[in-house]
Structure 1
Amino acid sequence: MGSPERDLKRLVVPDLGRLFETGDPWEPYWVLGRDGGRIEPVTAYFKDLQAAGSPATTLRSYGMDLLRWWRFLWAIEIEWDRAVREDARDFALWMQLADKPKRVHWRHRGKDPSQIQSPTTKLRIPSPGAPNPVTGKPTIGTKYAARTRAHCETVVRGFYDFHLERNTGSLLVNPFPLARRRGTYRPNAHHNPEHDHRRERTGRYRPKIPEGAPRRIPDEKYTEIFAGLRSDRDRALLAFWVASGARAEELLSSRQDDASVGQQVIGVIRKGTRAHQQLPASPDAFVWLRLYQEEAWRKGVPRGRNQPLWWTLRRPWRPLNYHAARAMFGRANELLGANWTLHDLRHTASFRMANDPEMSLLYVKEILGHRQLSTTQRYLLPALDEVIAAGLAHLARRRQLQENPPPAPSPPAYNPGALDILFGGPLT
């Protein structure tokens, strides 16, 4: 017997519970319930993920999705192990149509979002979901993005699969089913060994994610952002991100001994495998790094081979984390009114390497740390700004042809030599 039909339009999902960072490497994150205690089924799931090699960043991402699901369960007053498919259906529908909870920055509290201006450029912020006039990327909308909904569905479905295997509580079925298929057949029954395996079964309530080329920062815009940075540390960070193609959090994991000027490489901890890997970097990046280090050491920043490479600019000295680096790049974006992200710097480096005719795509794959070559091949696709430029150039050529049409071709004439042969000599 399914759950009764509920009015999702009037459903109020409480902003209760939270994701708590413990600082303990054995249990990096807890999901706390509305009473302040740990949600033990999530804790057990996190322990299994951590044993399988998932980093703390994965636990944080999964925790946000599970907390969202728990808040929905609190709103409909159902225990987690009593949820059925109708509840999962309503959750997917709620995420698709409901507005995200509004978390206004403390500087903008009490202000109309349409009147908020950048303190540097005095540019109006585009309306939610509208494309940015500089980058063309859509701004953060009021609804949950398709990627967020897809990730949440996958996480919660995997959470229930884990507890079904353990036979936890009164759980009998996964409320998040797989997609319907006509007939019964073995998955990948007609698989071609020369091709990769396809995902033939996916979640029923998982939305379709649009595919497209990753976003990159054009060279002239990158130069403007770089010129607006305030410190040598920030200039060194951007130079390394664009040169090495490392992820933002990977570069922030480097130690002072990882920067080898002689070999022109920098060591990072890879996100997925947690393995240490050296990446090539440009000489300019090491110049900015040396300028930053000389100034930082004079101010008293800890110095040592095993000390972090990147620190805050003010006392008390703390290793630079991802959130502080993102805020720094956000301030640089304000100079242009843009909304690029730190990950777009990795896309920029990937486009530059993949489109270098002298560099093999296999080398690019190893530098970027991709598992599949097909992931690296995305950077061979034309970027959006290149597509638009090519389309505008085509329209300009069409207009030029309409304004200045080419001269009409002259009518065909007989070849005199052919006539001489036909009639036995020149005509008189």
Structure 2
Amino acid sequence: MPEIGQLIETEDRWEPVRLLDPLGRPVEPAAEYFKDLMAADCSPLTPRSYGMDLLRWWRYLWSFEIEWDRATREDARDFTLWMKVADKPVRVHWRHRDKDPSEILVPMSGTRPAPGSPNPVTGKPTIGTKYAATTRAHFETVLRMFYDFHLDLNTGSLLVNPFPLVRARRSARVNAHHNPEKEFWKQRTGLYRPKVPKRIPRRIPDEKYTEVFAGLRSHRDRALLAFWVATGARAEELLTATQGGAKVGQQTVGVIRKGTRDYQELPAAPDAFVWLRLYQEEAWKKGVPRGRGKALWWTLRRPWRPLEYDAARMMFTRANELLGSNWTLHDLRHTATFLMLDDPNLPPVYVQKILGHKYLSTLDIYNRPTTDDIITAGLAHHARQERKKSNPPPAPPAPAYKAESLNVLFGGPAQ
């Protein structure tokens, strides 16, 4: 599919992103939808995430010269099928854009796993060449909500939603026959929504975490990693911390929560503050801005800029490459959660508040056995079976009466 049009980020607080057509003109239906999202107090990251799905859909419409409000269910069906079989576009790094493809060095075979195959270190599947089920499910949900929004506004000549609900549940009331003794289950689902497998969170083993920590290049990166594992904060949440928000005496760091945008102080480990102090002493000598209201995390080179999520992610990716692993920054949050839940003296409701979850039931995903736990338990079972084979238990004694009882009963010889 031709990569025409673009989604750009703006400096406008109320319109963080803008979808442009091939001629550089704003796509008004998308702009109206973005404004509605911002009015609903969504995060600025939400329009960007939704905008990528809208851009992909509009490129399909532009390619076949279909008006957005004239798209039919067959168009939605065909595009959904295309996403199942099409390869994702390959992004060329900006350093290689002016080079001939033959001049770009390609890693030798065997140095990294094939796309979509499990990583030999972590066991997590690598990023594949096809669109993942989660991406296709997100796309279907966004487009269905987008068309529902414009149907309510009676925009243009739009009559039906090309992304309908499942036929059997289209007109029924949600949870019409719900049993109050059981949990609610989702009855409203899209007709073209794929089945998404349930993900089991993974923790980074202690020995591997030590190797990743040793592969970092600066005190700033070590402090970041220590705070992520100590607080369980999301990657982008920790980057919102200020220098005044890191309170060594109280051993807490203040962050802005992703969903509610509330300020919350999180407890951290003493080691994290040791690495933070080493980083600050080094950074202030170089001229990094200093002040209670200034950002806590900065770039390592001039011009000094507050550290952003993409730069932090690349830092962790470089550390992963040294080990050949594919852990993500969010796996650090999972690791912190497992460590807190393993402590019997820390109630789960406190863990919920530290992580910033709305419901305690969100922690249920950590009660499921992980792949590593299943393998470890299975190997222990086979080891016990081998020990039974090599050391069989003694045979039980043959059934018989005791000689003492027979002597008492029949008057046997005296002892």
Normalised by the size of structure 2, how large is the TM-score?
0.93
The worse-fitting range, judged by mean Cα deviation, of 371-380 and 36-45 is 371-380
**CA 1:51 to 1:377, structure 2 compared with 1: closer, same or farther past 3 Å?**
same
Q: CA deviation at 1:190?
A: 3.2
Residue in structure 2 matching 1:19, options 3, 7, 31 = 7
- What letter corresponds to residue 277 of structure 1 in structure 2? Q
Q: 1:315 to 1:195 in 2, by over 3 A?
A: farther
The CA distance in 1 between the partners of 2:407 and 2:358, in whole Å, is 73
What's the counterpart of residue 294 of structure 2?
A: 307
Q: Residues 203 and 331 of structure 2 are in contact (CA less than 8 Å); yes or no, is this contact kept in structure 1?
A: yes
Task: State the SS of the aligned residue for 1:278.
Answer: strand
| Partner residue, 1:38 | 26
Distance in 1 between residues matched to 2:320 and 2:363, nearest whole Å = 27
Equivalent residue for 1:116? 107
Distance in 1 between residues matched to 2:139 and 2:326, nearest whole Å = 24
Contact 1:18 1:33 in 2 (8 A): yes
* Partner residue of 1:56 out of 40, 44, 49: 44
The more displaced of 165-174 and 411-420 is 411-420
Matched, 1:138 2:129: no
Identity of aligned residues (%): 66
How far is the alpha carbon of 1:368 from its aligned partner?
Answer: 0.9
In structure 2, relative to structure 1, the CA distance for the partners of 1:316 and 1:107 (3 Å cut) is: closer
Deviation for aligned residue 1:196: 4.4
SS in 2 for 1:394: helix
1:95 matched to which residue of 2?
83
**Hey, what does 2:244 align to over in structure 1?**
257
Task: Tell me the equivalent position of 2:207.
Answer: 220
Q: Tell whether the 8 Å contact from 2:169 to 2:188 is kept in structure 1 after alignment.
A: no
1:82/1:427 CA distance change after superposition, 3 Å: farther
Q: How does 1:180-199 map to 2 (within 5 A)?
A: 180-181=167-168, 185-193=172-180, 195-199=182-186
Partner deviation per Cα, 1:167-188 (whole Å, 9 max, x = no partner):
1111111110001227974321
Q: Report Cα offsets for 1:176-229 as digits up to 9, x if no partner.
A: 000122797432123344654321111111111111321211111001100111
1:426 aligns with 2:407: no
More divergent stretch after superposition (381-390 vs 245-254):
381-390
The residue aligned with 1:10 is: none
* Aligned-residue RMSD, C-alpha: 2.2
Unaligned runs of 5+ in 2: none
- Three-state SS of the structure 2 residue aligned to 1:257 is coil
Match of 1:365 among 352, 375, 378: 352
Q: Is the 8 A contact 1:135 1:340 kept in 2?
A: yes
Residue 367 of structure 2: aligned partner? 380
Following the alignment from structure 1 to structure 2, what is the Cα–Cα distance between the partners of residues 392 and 112? 48
Q: Distance in 1 between matches of 2:170 and 2:255?
A: 48
The match for 2:70 is: 82
The match for 2:233 among 229, 241, 246 is 246
Do the aligned partners of residues 132 and 377 (structure 1) sit closer, same or farther apart at CA in structure 2, a change above 3 Å counting? same
Give 1:317 deviation, angstroms. 0.2
In structure 2, the partner of 1:320 is: 307
Question: How far apart are the structure 2 equivalents of 1:45 and 1:183?
Answer: 23
The 3 A distance-change label for structure 1 pair 107 and 134 is: farther
Q: Distance in 1 between matches of 2:169 and 2:411?
A: 80
Quick one: structure 1 residues 416 and 132, their matched pair in 2 at CA, closer, same or farther if it must change by over 3 Å? same
- The structure-2 alpha-carbon separation of the partners of 1:143 and 1:112, relative to structure 1 and needing over 3 Å to count, comes to farther
Q: Distance in 2 between matches of 1:141 and 1:289?
A: 37
CA-CA distance at 1:373 after TM superposition = 1.7
Q: CA deviation at 1:31?
A: 1.3
Checking the alignment, whether the CA contact within 8 Å between 1:261 and 1:286 is kept in structure 2 is yes
Counterpart of 2:268? 281
Counterpart residue identity of residue 389, structure 1 = T
**8 A Cα contact 1:114 1:127, kept in partner:** no
SS at the partner of 1:19?
Answer: strand
Aligned partners of 1:115 and 1:124 also within 8 Å: no
Q: Cα deviation per residue 1:51-84 (whole Å; 9 max; x = unaligned)?
A: 1111111111111111111111122221111011
2:323 — aligned with what? Answer: 336
Q: In terms of mean alpha carbon deviation, does 270-279 or 103-112 score higher? A: 103-112
1:149 aligns with 2:136: yes
Residues in 1 aligned to 2:27 and 2:333: alpha-carbon distance in whole angstroms: 36
What is the SS of the residue equivalent to 1:67? helix
Native 8 Å contact 1:123 1:337 kept in 2: no
1:178 is paired with a residue whose SS is: coil
Give the drift of 1:330.
0.4
TM-score, normalised to structure 1, is 0.91
CA distance, structure 1, for counterparts of residue 11 and residue 412 of structure 2:
103
**Residues 1:73 and 2:61 are matched in the alignment:** yes
Structure 1 gap ranges (5+): 1-12
Cα drift, residue 401 of structure 1: 2.9
Where does residue 396 of structure 2 map in the other structure? 409
Q: Following the alignment from structure 1 to structure 2, what is the Cα–Cα distance between the partners of residues 66 and 398?
A: 56
CA distance in 2, matches of 1:53, 1:403: 66
Given that residues 351 and 380 in structure 1 are in contact (C-alpha distance below 8 angstroms), is that contact kept between their aligned partners in structure 2?
Answer: no
The separation in 2 between residues aligned to 1:427 and 1:150, in whole angstroms, is 88
Judging changes above 3 Å, is the alpha-carbon distance between structure 1 residues 114 and 216 closer, same or farther for their aligned structure 2 residues?
A: farther
